[in-house]
Amino acid sequence: SLYPAPHYRAGIESIDGYNTLPPSLQRLVEACFVLETTDSRILAAYLKQKPAVIRMDFQKICTILGEKFALQKMHQPASPSREFA
């Protein structure tokens, strides 16, 4: 089945930015958890894709999550500086 067991779901959804991924990329993340691998050949067989497509999708995930983290970092309030007397 392409749907992860409930105990995997909590781990997957705890990934910051997971819900910003399109459904096809969410399925790839879920497959990584279910199969406990990031091997593109194994994932490709499981998802009925070509390994090259899986590798490109990993790049897309990195780009999407990287942009999300960069935006979060830009919008974080500056931490108060401590002055020593």
Q: Check residue 59 and give its pLDDT.
A: 94
Q: Are 30 and 12 in contact (CB under 8 A)?
A: yes
Q: Check residue 1 and give its pLDDT.
A: 45
Pick the more confident residue, 17 or 84. 17
Q: What number is the average pLDDT over the span 62-82?
A: 71
Pick the more confident residue, 37 or 1. 37
Q: Check residue 74 and give its pLDDT.
A: 73
Q: Are 31 and 74 in contact (CB under 8 A)?
A: no
The pLDDT tens digits for 9-67 are 666 666 666 778 899 999 999 899 889 999 999 999 999 999 999 999 999 998 988 87
- Rounded distance between C-alpha atoms, residue 35 and residue 37, angstroms: 5
